[in-house]
Amino acid sequence: MELFFYLLATLTLLGALGAVLLKNLVHCALSLILFFAGIAGFYILLQAEFIAAVQILIYVGAVATLVLFAIMLTQNVIGETTLKGLGQNRWWALGISLVVITVLVRAIQHQTLPSFLPEGRVTTNEIGHTLVTTYVLPFEVISILLTGAMIGAIVVAMETKKNKQQATGDRRRT
Amino acid sequence: MSYGLGILKGMSVTLKQFVESYTKKGSIVTVQYPEERREDVERFRNFPILVYDEKPEAPRCVACDICAKECPPKCITIVRDRDEQGRGLQKPKVFDIDLSVCMSCGICEEVCPFDAIFMDHQFELSAYDRMESLNYHQEKLLKPNSYLHQIRPTDATQIDAKLKAKEEAKKKTQPGTTA
Amino acid sequence: MERLDQLFVLLKKIILQFAESFLPAPLLPFLSILVSITAIAIFAPLTMMYLTWLERKVIGRMQNRFGPNRVGIYGLLQPIADGIKMLTKEDVIPLGADRVTHFLAPVAVVVPSLLLFSVLPFGRNMTAVNLDIGLLFFIAVSSIGTLAIFMGGWASRNKFSLLGAMRAFAQMISYEVPLVLSVVTVVMIVGSLSTEKIVEAQSGWGGLRWFVFTPWGFVGFMLFFICSVSEVNRTPFDIPEGESEIVAGFHTEYSGMKFALFYMAEFLGAFAYSAMAATLFLGGWQGPLLPSWLWFGLKTFCLVFTMIWLRGTFPRFRVDQLMSYAWKFLFPMGLSNILAAGIWYHTPFPLSFIFATWILLLSFIGLSRLNPTGTRLERRTYRFAE
Amino acid sequence: MIPLSHFLTVSAVLFAIGLYGVLARKNAVIVLMGIEIMMNAANLNLIAFSRFLPANRLTGQLFALFGITIAAAEVAVGLALVIAIFRMVKTIEVDRIEKLKG
């Protein structure tokens, strides 16, 4: 069991680091997908298969596609995806994230955490059942939020007559 | 309500073809080439051949060079035969056709005034090297008139009749003028 | 009969007993998983090879010609000849391509389509991995394939393959939605995501309890089958590798073994999707007389044959027709199918069929009337290269 | 048997990496990816606690489910904004998009 954990941990950390540090945008996106797969592996380790499958379906299936589409749409030339790399304030960023890590890890060490494993598994129909009985309000609110977000995203990103000319216009001027 | 029926109709056609290919006899058209062969079609044309009547030394061709001029890819080369004094003879000394260039269009057969060149039915002529072995010389091109009768009976008989008629006409005028 | 039905299960038991003698005890569960994995690993490529043979024979026969019949009797060794040809072909990596993604793409395409096999119920208690979220796993893994195709298209760094990859992306996403909607109806009625329970729910009455005989089941089956044909990029939805327009789409720059992997993924996907369609709507391995795995094979074979039959009949969709067909026809049909299934579930027997068919017919006619067929592309406006 | 602290440290490190990505990178799409990584780290915590705490074990997984849907909606809107910005200003370098004129 521990072997899987360490394997998955390295895989996920590599994916996350790659997503953040790589120069080529599409390589970042692909390592992000590796990261999502690693997280799904963790969920399976924690015996949450349903959430792992949902994670793969939503993140690897849809969010990564969305990110790749965005990269494709915002790159003027395919392949020219090397960018000026990191911003000049990256040392500050490194400092802040190191501080965050030390604070969190210190907090984890001092905390007395339950170490024994309760038996019994959470089955999918249990999740489904509680989702529609005790948690029905957040369930409905989420569905409204999703439709709102979807319509909003489409309206924002849509090419109307007005900004279509703007898009082509700009390019001709520069 | 007929949305989608077009799809079913299309699919039924292909299914019918599929089923018929097993049941109906003639529905599969492919000829399994090396084993089965398609029967010979008279006007089939492949590479040109020269025709001689009796002796291979006297082909019908009089080396008039019309076919060489007319040949689109220019793959015919003719050199007229010369006797000792250097006067041209009505016979080609060298008659080469480069089969790797020839596109078997049949123009040489059409323009030839002396019906000397015809398109052959023989197409299995593969060779190992492109240059020399596909450049057919006169000996390889010459074929007897009987072979022509064998592969293109109707055309051959018409041409023989025409030649014979020309022969008599010449004989008839010939004695007239000498007298 | 029982022994024949459980043939493969008994085979596995014999192997395990034989291995028990010399293997230490804790290794046994791994061994049983290993045995089913090797079974799939042998079964999948074999089916793929002989699906290619079947496809060439059937399409040949549909076009009044023999299929391959030179290599071996009836061309049975043709797939092996193709395999050798694929292996010996030189593996060209284009200069501009970035090696890592170019190399990873075929692997990332084949792995999901092999994973799909782990969840399929090949026969009575013959599912390789009996997940209780089997169906969700199937859909999640099939969405990974889309990404791998993009990787392949983008990595080979040429205009055609990128165009093909973007087309594949758009097509597979917009056809995944109706696919999931048609699966939702089955899950709603059966109440569980595991493929075993879905098949059990369709037993009884000698096959009349199959979902395909219910109104919503028939429409769901049509939706699922159409969407699976397009998920697998087969005609008439094979725009990503539309030979006529964009050379070979996303696998233009692949040759040799890598191209074989793309090809293999397509056929494994076709087989897995038809098997899932059979499980969901045609009662998996339910069947009166024959052993269960034979019934499963027969149904999947019929569905794969229809996929090939479609390929022999239809021309390719235009991209905008493809998109509008998915969003303007299949998606609303999926929604109305769920409504019909809900009503079917809660009304008593004679009424339920009438209501469900009435709703579905209404939505079918309405949608077909709403979607104007034969719309022309609007006049192309040309922008000169800046 | 992997203790809970291991999972928490991994998710803490992932959270920090996401934070670094958000702060250090210039391209808006990578910033959104960083936010995605932070959201996932939080979800990992939820699931880890739901596994180890004997109380009703379901809430962790449910909230992770809600977290995933919200993150997906957030990425969709974020990327729509990025595309709209790109159409107007032709660049998505984060530090160049600070002109507030119309």
Predicted local confidence at residue B80, as pLDDT: 87
Domain of B130? 48-165
Mean pLDDT of chain C: 85
Q: Which of C56, C58, C62 to mutate to test the interface with B (most CBs of B within 10 A)?
A: C62
pLDDT bin (cut points 50, 70, 90) of residue A79 is: very low
Q: Which of C267, C305, C299 is nearest to C283 (CA)?
A: C299
For chain D, domains (ranges, CATH) are 4-96 (1.10.287.3510)
Q: Do D54 and A118 touch (CB under 8 A)?
A: yes
Mean pLDDT (whole number) for B157-166: 90
The mean-pLDDT minimum among B5-14, B132-141, C237-246, C278-287 falls in: C237-246
- Residue B3: pLDDT over 80: no
Q: Do C173 and A62 touch (CB under 8 A)?
A: yes
Q: In the Cβ-directed half-sphere of C125, how many Cα atoms lie within 13 Å? A: 7
**pLDDT confidence of residue B22:** 86
3-state secondary structure at position A168: helix
Mean pLDDT by 10 residues, chain D (102 residues): 85 92 84 92 90 79 91 91 82 68 56
Residue A161 CA to residue A156 CA, distance in Å, equals 13
Contacts of A9 in chain D (CB under 8 A): 6, 10
pLDDT, tens digit (0-9, with 9 covering 90-100), for C37-56: 898 899 988 988 899 999 99
Written as one letter, the residue type at A155 is V
Cα dihedral D15/D19/D20/D25 (nearest 10):
130
Q: What is the pLDDT of residues C205-233, one digit of tens each?
A: 767 788 888 888 899 999 999 999 998 88
Average pLDDT for chain B: 86
Q: What percent of chain B has pLDDT over 70?
A: 96
State the average pLDDT over residues A109-132: 78
The two structure tokens encoding residue C165? 């990859």
Identity of the amino acid at C199: V
- Using the structure block, give the residue that is written with the tokens 């007929």: B2
Which of the other chains make 3 or more beta carbon contacts under 8 angstroms with chain A?
C, D
State mean pLDDT over C329-351.
90
CA-wise closest residue to C72 among C64, C83, C85, C81: C81
Residues of chain A positioned with their CB less than 8 A from the CB of D31: none
- What is the identity of the amino acid at D19? L
> Which one, of C247, C249, C251, C306, lies nearest residue C274 by Cα?
C306
Beta bridge partners, B77, equal B96
Q: What is the pLDDT of residue D99?
A: 67
CA gap B167, B163 in Å, rounded = 6
For chain C, what is the largest distance between any 2 Cα atoms, rounded to a whole number of angstroms? 77
Query: What region, left, alpha or beta, does residue B110 occupy, with left being phi > 0 and alpha being psi -120 to 50 degrees?
Result: alpha
CA–CA dist D69, A55 (Å, integer): 10
Mean pLDDT of C184-208: 85
CB spacing of C63 vs B11 below 8 angstroms: no
Rounded to the nearest 10 degrees, the angle between the axes of helix C215-231 and helix C159-190 is 160
Q: What number does CATH give the domain A1-83? A: 1.20.120.1200
CB contact under 8 A, A42 and D7: yes
Q: Do A50 and C386 touch (CB under 8 A)?
A: no
Residue B79: beta bridge partners? B94
- Please write the tens of the pLDDT for every residue from A130-170: 888 888 899 999 999 999 999 999 898 887 777 666 655 54
Residues of chain A neighbouring C157 (CB-CB closer than 8 A): 78-79
Q: What residues in B contact C61, CB-CB < 8 Å?
A: 17-18, 21-22, 28
The domain locations on chain C are 92-370
Give this prediction's pTM: 0.85
Report which residue type is found at A67: V
Q: Is B103 helix (H, G, I), strand (E, B) or coil?
A: coil
User: What is the reported pLDDT for D95?
Assistant: 67
Candidates C129, C143, C183, partner chain A, best to mutate (most A CBs within 10 A): C143
Q: What is the pLDDT of residues C105-141, one digit of tens each?
A: 888 889 998 999 988 888 887 888 888 888 999 999 9
Secondary structure string (H, E, C) spanning chain A:
CHHHHHHHHHHHHHHHHHHHHCCCHHHHHHHHHHHHHHHHHHHHHCCCHHHHHHHHHHHHHHHHHHHHHHHHHCCCCCCCCCCCCECCCHHHHHHHHHHHHHHHHHHHHHCCCCCCCCCCCCCHHHHHHHHHCCCHHHHHHHHHHHHHHHHHHHHHHCCCHHHHHHHHHHHHHC
Closest CA to C62 of D70, B27, B151, A89: B27
Mutate to test the interface with B, among C61, C218, C360, C362 (most CBs of B within 10 A): C61
Percentage of residues in chain B having pLDDT higher than 90? 6
* Ramachandran assignment for C176, one of left (phi > 0), alpha (psi -120 to 50 degrees), beta (any other): alpha
Residue C244 has a pLDDT of 55
Identify the band that residue A78 occupies on the pLDDT scale cut at 50, 70 and 90: very low
User: Is the minimum CB–CB distance between B14 and chain C shorter than 8 Å?
Assistant: yes
Residue B25 lies in a domain: no
Q: B1, B13, B18: best mutation site toward chain C, by most C Cβ within 10 Å?
A: B18
Interface B-C: count of C-beta contacts within 8 A: 40
Q: Name the more confident of B107 and A168.
A: B107
What are B95's two structure tokens? Answer: 């008659």
Prediction ipTM score: 0.79
Give yes or no for residue B92 having a pLDDT over 70: yes
Tens digit of each residue's pLDDT (9 = 90 or more) over C77-98: 888 888 888 888 888 888 877 7
pLDDT beyond 80 at A87: no
Assigned domain for B37 exists: no
**Type of residue numbered A29:** A
**At B55, phi and psi to the nearest 5?**
-110, 140
Q: How far apart are CA C198 and CA C271, in angstroms?
A: 19
Q: What's the number of domains chain B is made of? A: 1
CA distance C312 to C54: 12
10 Å CB burial of residue B76 (0-12, 13-18, 19+) is buried
- The β-bridge partners of B118 are B49
D73·A39 Cβ contact <8 A: no
pLDDT of residue A12: 93
Portion of chain A with pLDDT greater than 90, in percent: 29
Pick from A5, A114, A130: CB nearest D6 = A5
Using the beta-carbon criterion (under 8 Å), do A16 and D37 form an inter-chain contact? yes
CATH label of the domain that carries residue B106: 3.30.70.3270
Say if CB C81 and CB C107 are below 8 A apart: no
Q: What span, in angstroms and rounded, lies between the C-alpha atoms of A29 and A22?
A: 9
- Nearest one of C261, C256, C251, C262 to C89, comparing CA atoms: C256
Using the beta-carbon criterion (under 8 Å), do A35 and D40 form an inter-chain contact? yes
Q: Output the CA angle A10-A15-A18, nearest 5 degrees.
A: 120
Average pLDDT over residues C63-67: 85
DSSP string covering B120-150: -S------S-SSSTTEE-HHHHEEEHHHHHH
pLDDT score of C293: 85
Query: Most confidently modeled of A54-63, B126-135, C60-69?
Result: A54-63
pLDDT at position C224:
93
For chain C, what percent of residues have pLDDT higher than 90? Answer: 18
Question: Nearest-CA residue of chain B relative to C61?
Answer: B18
Q: What are B32-52's pLDDT values in tens digits?
A: 888 888 888 888 888 898 888
**Over residues A41-55, mean pLDDT:** 89
> Locate tokens 């119920």: which residue?
C121
At residue D40, the pLDDT reads 93
Contacts D38 to A, Cβ<8 Å:
none
| pLDDT score at D66 | 92
- Chain B residues with CB-CB distance to C309 below 8 A: 11, 14-15, 18
Q: Residue B60: phi, psi to the nearest 5?
A: -65, -25
CA distance C57 to chain B (A): 10
